[in-house]
Structure 1
């Protein structure tokens, strides 16, 4: 199925829980949440509609690696590194598959991430995309649409988090 990105919002009163046990903030079946499946079912029909409210969950499919590249500070990146923290990380591969990457973003970290991420516009993404090549073989125009769609979703999500004083826990896995 591939490695995907899922983020779940938490309220400020759950900061200590999110730091001590980030998995307690995550769903036990994030793909089911993202695709509208019955959780933990061996067979289930999908609605392809996210079950969790968009203010509570961000699903970035496999676009996380492109957004990671886009937001990593350095030559060709419009970002200075603050919003990279939202996408940083990778799974740890081993014989039986992989161990996911999990990170907690505290409510006080969200405004700087939001400011930088929301300042990234389509023209900057188009400049960055000239050097980005997907590992999935999509053509450049399709890849650009895909990345822009998920960038906009991420921007809306962090805007909502900042407005509500919430943090997030994300999983790449």
Structure 2
């Protein structure tokens, strides 16, 4: 299945509560939320339409890694751009699989991220993604740009509403 990215919005008035327990905002079955599956069921038909409202959930599939590279510092010693906070992190591998990365972002952090994402051009994606002979570059860039646009919209909507978010990579 692979490592995927899921983000859930929360209202600003519960920020302290969410910071103390970020997992409380994340669904028990984020993939079901993202793909329109029945939560917890092993075999099910999917609608491939997000079951949770797009203002409340962001699904970045496996493009989170592309967006992480896009927003990461260009080299060691340089400060990451604010949007990197939205994509930063990695899972912890162990014998039985992996432990996900979970982070809560406050409404003020989301505002800074939204403003920064607004400055990231679609064209930067093609410039920053690593080149690989094993991948169709144009398709990979289009894939990343599509999810960058979703991330921009999600962050902007949260910022406009004074909301924060919790994201899970896993």
Does TM-score exceed 0.5, indicating one fold? yes
Matching residue of 1:57: 57
Counterparts of 1:12-161 in structure 2, within 5 Å, are 12-75=12-75, 80-129=80-129, 132-133=130-131, 137-161=134-158
Q: Is the 8 A contact 2:70 2:124 kept in 1?
A: no
CA-to-aligned-CA distance 1:40-78 (integer Å, 9 cap, x gap): 002110000000000000000000011000000225xxx
**Count of residue pairs brought into register by the alignment:** 167
Q: 1:28/1:133 Cα in 2 relative to 1: closer, same or farther (>3 Å)?
A: farther
CA-to-aligned-CA distance 1:82-133 (integer Å, 9 cap, x gap): 110000000000000000000000001111111111111122222223xx14
- Please state how far the C-alpha of 1:138 moved relative to its aligned partner: 3.2
Distance 2:149 2:132 in 1: 19
Q: TM-score, length-normalised on structure 2?
A: 0.94
Secondary structure at 1:90 match in 2 = coil
CA RMSD of aligned residues (A): 1.5
Secondary structure at 2:81 match in 1 = coil
Distance 2:86 2:27 in 1: 18
Secondary structure at 2:125 match in 1 = helix
| Runs of 4+ in structure 1 over 4 Å off | none
Distance 1:49 1:9 in 2: 18
Q: Is the 8 A contact 1:17 1:24 kept in 2?
A: no
Matching residue of 2:9: 9
Matching residue of 1:163: 160
Q: What stretches of structure 2 of length at least 5 have no aligned partner?
A: none
Distance 1:96 1:144 in 2: 33
